[in-house]
Amino acid sequence: MHEKKNAPLRSDAQRNRERILEVALVELTRAADTPLSAIAKKAGVGQGTLYRNFPSREALVLEVYRYEVEQVAATAAQLLADRAPDQALREWMDRLARYSMTKAGLAAAMGKATAYGSFAACGHGPLTAAITLLLRANDEAGTIRPGLTPDDFLLAIAGLWHIDPHSDWQARVDQLLDIVMDGLRAGAPGR
Amino acid sequence: MHEKKNAPLRSDAQRNRERILEVALVELTRAADTPLSAIAKKAGVGQGTLYRNFPSREALVLEVYRYEVEQVAATAAQLLADRAPDQALREWMDRLARYSMTKAGLAAAMGKATAYGSFAACGHGPLTAAITLLLRANDEAGTIRPGLTPDDFLLAIAGLWHIDPHSDWQARVDQLLDIVMDGLRAGAPGR
DNA sequence: GAACCTAACGGACACCTGTCCGCTTGAGCA
DNA sequence: TGCTCAAGCGGACAGGTGTCCGTTAGGTTC
């Protein structure tokens, strides 16, 4: 069983993939529920090609916004440098929420992606890494209950994916994250 | 604009509705993703009839398990009579989780139903009523933070709908509900 | 630059959801 | 019992997702 070592894509495949992402960004921003078939057509590729690159709608959305998501993930380290671990965690959750609500379809995709099985398994490293970082820092500072895994964390904030991004989400997000943050804090050993 | 006051269904319509529910219970229990068209066929009705009675898959699932859900809702009062408000709330959440995990497709349907807009608006009174009851009792006892609405509560436990009912859900549910419960408790004024 | 091999293509297809609309039939009334 | 008529029926259909498979064309080797 020979592994295909991190697949050096063929040149045309590479081009197709990028053209799909370009088109998808435009179309999904315009309407989050644009048919995938329409995106394939506009990108000038067959359905098969689109689905080979992105097995599901969620995979495509996540990839489209990957840069944004990676940015958010990257701020974790930054925030930890600037403030107390628990403050950093809370601020980070706020930013994650803000991005999810702002980018059309991202919240829904996150919800699907985190459903039924670990998010980590989906190969979306950056987010998991960021969460791990934040949790460890807080764990060491004794500001959260011990033994929390990234999966626990993602379940705790799952409510985010159920908030309508077209409504007054700010207040509901604040309330939810207050509850979650306090929940994570409870049982903390203290420093 | 004359309201049709709580629609006295025509006899054949009534029979069809019941036959659909019977078949749906069997089929959905066997496989949660049975095509609705298959259920319609087995029930001996057209697609149109099925969809007129149940506008969406979730509506059907929720109706199929309505009795069970109402049972859970009804235990809220019982639990409040037996124990301290916060104990009752926690125990109730456990039972809700257990039912959701146990009945195939129920968790997914709950997730969809609570997504994007208040659950209460969907006309599913019993659950909302039960939650309101529990929250009020806790509010009065000073065991939870003040000002919590049923919507806040549903967002907080949304993680439940993301746990795979086919996996070792018990441990994950416990962990999640511990976090949520502590989150709700935080900021409680005390008695 | 020709031949080969396989990654990648792309569109037809299978399947599902939800809607629409012409037809059927239960039920009240004379 | 026969008439009437709208509530209700049911299946065809539109629209979308995801799969399959015969065909095409990059890349490599000689």
Under 8 Å between Cβ of A1 and A26: no
Q: Is the CB of A47 under 7 A from strand C?
A: yes
Under 8 Å between Cβ of A32 and A18: no
Q: What DSSP string runs through A139-186?
A: HHHT-S-TT--HHHHHHHTGGGGGS-TTS-HHHHHHHHHHHHHHHHHT
Q: Is the CB of A38 under 7 A from strand C?
A: no
Return the closest-CA partner of residue A16 out of A34, A29, A106, A39. A39
The residues, any chain, with a CB within 8 Å of residue A190's CB and separated by 6 or more, are A142
Q: Which CATH number fits domain A66-185: 1.10.357.10, 3.20.20.100, 1.10.10.60, 1.20.1050.140?
A: 1.10.357.10
Give the residue from B58, B179, B180, B181 with the most A CB atoms within 10 Å of its CB, the best one to mutate. B179
CA distance A59 to A57: 5
Residue B112's SS3 state is helix
Tell me whether A93 touches chain B (CB under 8 Å): no
For B24, half-sphere exposure in the C-beta direction (CA atoms, 13 angstrom radius) is 27
Q: Buried (b) or exposed (e) across B30-44, using 16+ Cβ within 10 A?
A: eebebebeebbebbe
- What angle do the packed helices B57-64 and B66-82 form, to 10 degrees? 50
Residue A24's SS3 state is helix
Return the closest-CA partner of residue B147 out of A187, A7, A171, A119. A171
Q: Mind listing the pLDDT tens digit for each residue in A91-148? A: 999 999 999 999 989 999 999 888 776 554 445 678 899 999 999 999 999 999 999 9
| pLDDT tens for each residue of chain B, 191 residues long | 333 446 677 899 999 999 999 999 999 999 999 999 999 999 999 999 999 999 999 999 999 999 989 999 999 999 999 999 999 999 999 999 999 999 989 999 999 888 775 554 445 678 899 999 999 999 999 999 999 999 999 999 999 999 999 889 999 999 999 999 999 999 989 86
Cβ–Cβ of A175/B182 closer than 8 Å? no
CA distance B47 to A86: 53
